[in-house]
Structures are given as structure tokens and as C-alpha cells.
Amino acid sequence: MLTLLYTRITELAASPRAVWWLILVAMAEASVFPLPVDLMLVPMLLARRERAWFLASVCTAASVAGGLIGWVLGAFLMEHLGMPIAHFYHADQRILNLEAMFRHYGVWIILAKGLTPLPYKFVTLAAGAAHFPLLPFIAASIVTRGARFFLEAALLRAFGEPIRDFIEKRLALVLFGALILIAGGIALIEFL
């Protein structure tokens, strides 16, 4: 099923309405969709490298808007919609753990988890369930999602096809490195 979905998304990335599909997929990915928006963004960036900054901006804005949907689901509809979404992905405990982490670490969870391969929908649902304040949530979402999509745009704009293989094979490693830097920053703040 996921292979079929992946194939369909890459086909949509080449369509004349690709930007609209990017918006829809980015919003859905941040709240309910199973596949990362990168599967649509990367082919679009490769096809139109001169539009890299525009596409990264659109993707960031749509992802943050989808994150707001996830936050609302977590804050007001967690029992009826949020937990069924988490259950569908076998992530019930992950959501509960993230919710508890929000109470202790707050904005740092968004900054750290928004860069990792952990599906962003889990972060948005848990932030809402924890009733994490909306303005810091939006600001941190813009920073973390923007960093991710603009990094991809910059690399693909500069290097094209060879970087695509690198991103597809080692994105988790690169994002893990960024996570270590963020965790180091958190540790530094905690100890100062």
C-alpha cells in the first residue's frame, strides 16, 4: 500500500497542479498523513530548481498550517480523533510520552523532533494534548520545519540529482546530527 502511495505522490509532483498537491500533502503530513512531504517536495525541487525557495516556503507554510490542525486535534479532539490517529500508526505510547515531554521540555521538543524522522503529526498531536501555548508552538514549528525544507531546497538547488541520492539514503543521519546539536544546546542551557 505504501509503495502505491509513494508512486502516486511522485506522479502528483510532476503534475501541473503540483504546488496545490504539495500544500495538501504538507498539511496532511503534519496532522494525519502516513508519508513524509519530502517524497513530493524532492522531485518538485529537482524538476524546478530555480523555484527552490518558493517551494520550500510553500511547504513550510503548509506544514505549519497542518501542524495547527494537529494541535487542535490534540487539544480538543484527542480522545475522539487524535488517539485513533495515533493508534492507526501504533504510536499510542509515543504520543503519551511526547505529551509528558512537552510538560517538561516545552519548545525544545518541537525544535528537536521537527527535524527528525519522527512523524511531525505525533509532535503536533502531543503539543495540543499537552495544551502547549500556541504562539511558541507556531514559532518553533516555523523554525524547525523551515530549517528542514530550506536545507533540502538549498542542497537540491546547488547539487541537483547527486544530492537526491544522498538525501534519500542518509537524511535520517543528517537530521540525527542536527538533533545532537540541539540536544547539546539544551544540555548546555540546563547546566548553566
> How large a percentage of the chain has pLDDT more than 90?
29
Q: Say if residue 88's pLDDT is above 60.
A: yes
The predicted-structure confidence for 90-130, as pLDDT tens digits, reads as follows: 878 888 888 888 888 888 888 877 776 567 888 898 899 89
The predicted-structure confidence for 149-175, as pLDDT tens digits, reads as follows: 999 899 888 887 777 667 666 656 665
CB 85 within 8 A of CB 77: no
Which stretch of DSSP H or E encloses residue 89? none
* Cα 188 from Cα 77, distance rounded (Å): 36
Q: Say if residue 78's pLDDT is above 60.
A: yes
- The pTM (predicted TM-score) of the whole model is 0.78
Question: Confidence band (pLDDT; 50, 70, 90) for 5?
Answer: low
DSSP state of 49: G
CB 156 within 8 A of CB 42: yes
Domain boundaries, the chain: 1-191
